[in-house]
Structure 1
C-alpha cells in the first residue's frame, strides 16, 4: 500500500504540473475563497480517482472515454459562455453568498469532475491501479493532485489581487473555451 501511495502521489503531482486543472484552480481562486476551491477540487478528485482505480482493476472496457471527453468539452464551452456573460448579485444575494459557500464548492467540484474525466491524470491513475494496490493508488493520486492544485490556488490568489475583475472574467472565459475546444478537438476525431 505504501509503495502505491508514494508512486501515485509523485506521479500524479508531476503529471498535474502545467495541466489545465492547475489553470482552472488559478482561475477559480480569483473568484472564490481558497478553501472553497480546494474543497471542490478535493471532492471531485476523490470521486474521479476512485472511478479511475475501479477502471484500472478491471472495468475499463465499460466506459467509452471518447464520448465522455466530447461531452466534457461541450460542457466547458457552456462554462465559457456563462463566465463571459457574467453574474450580478442583488444585495440580498451578496449577503447569502458571503454566508453560504455551497454554490462555489459545487461549481468548482462540477468543473473539476468534468475536466478530469478522460484527462491524463485519470488515465495515469488507471494505469497505476493496474500495477499497485487500489487503496494506496487512490489515496496517493488524490493527494498528489490536490497538492499540485493547491500550488495553483496560491498563484491564482496573487493574480486576483493585481488584476481587474473584468480581465479575470474574460481570461476565465477564454480558458474555459480553450479547454472545451481542446477536449472536443481531441475526442471528436476518434469518434468519426
Structure 2
C-alpha cells in the first residue's frame, strides 16, 4: 500500500505544471471531447509507466543493494531539483497532435511521446526500483497522472491560473528530497540495509 500511495502522491504533485499537463490543456482546448482525451491519457500512461516500472524492477535485479541504494538516493535528490525546471511542449510533441488518428488516437500518441524521458516516467523507474511492487507503483503513478490531468482536461485554462504551481512543485521536490535522503541513509528493508 505504501508503494501505491507514495507513487500516487509524488506523480500527482510532480505533474502539476508539467508538459503533459500542458498537453492535456491543449488537447482539451482543441478537441473539446473530455472522455476520449481522458481515456487516451489513461491508456498512454499505463503503457508508458508499465515499461518504466519494468525497467525499474529490472535495474533492481541487476545492482547490488548498496549500489542501488546510492543510485536511487542520488536519483531522488536529483528529481527534487529537476521538479523546478519549467516544462514546455516541444515542437516534436506538438506534431503528434497533427496525426489523423481521431481524438483518442491523437491523445494516446501525444501523451506516450510526451512521457518519454519525462520527470514522471523517470520517477516511475525509480519508484519501481525502490518498492517491491511493480503493480502498485504503476497503478499509483497512473492514478497520480489522472489526478493531475483529468481536472486539466475538464476545467481547462480556468484551473491553470488558480493552482499555485510553485507551492505544488515545492511539495513534490520536498517529497523527492526526503525519499532520497532516507534512501541514502539506508531506510527500507528491501534494499538490504
Q: TM-score, normalized by length of structure 1? A: 0.61
Q: Is the contact between residue 28 and residue 156 of structure 1 (CA under 8 Å) also seen in structure 2?
A: no
Deviations 1:64-85 (A, max 9, x none): xxxxxxxx956326347x49xx
> What's 2:155 paired with?
155
> What's 2:119 paired with?
120
- The offset of 1:155, in angstroms, is 2.8
- The offset of 1:154, in angstroms, is 2.3
- The offset of 1:43, in angstroms, is 0.5
Counterpart CA distance in 2 for 1:79 and 1:103 is 12
> What's 1:104 paired with?
103
Deviations 1:131-176 (A, max 9, x none): 11111101000000011001211232759xxxxxxxxxxxxxxxxx
- The offset of 1:122, in angstroms, is 0.2
Counterpart CA distance in 1 for 2:53 and 2:43 is 16
> What's 2:71 paired with?
none
Q: 1:9-158 counterparts in 2 under 5 A?
A: 9-32=8-31, 33-58=33-58, 75-76=92-93, 78-79=95-96, 82=98, 103-132=102-131, 133-156=133-156
Structure 2 unaligned runs (5+)?
A: 63-88, 160-193
- The offset of 1:59, in angstroms, is 5.4
Structure 1 unaligned runs (5+)?
A: 62-71, 88-101, 160-192
Figure out how many residues of one structure are paired with residues of the other and give that number: 130
**Hey, which bits of structure 1, 4+ residues long, moved more than 2 A?**
72-80
Counterpart CA distance in 1 for 2:36 and 2:122 is 26
Q: CA RMSD in A?
A: 2.7
Q: Secondary structure at 2:156's aligned position in 1?
A: helix
Counterpart CA distance in 1 for 2:13 and 2:139 is 16
- The offset of 1:26, in angstroms, is 0.8
Cα distance change of structure 1 residues 157 and 77 upon mapping to structure 2, 3 Å threshold: closer
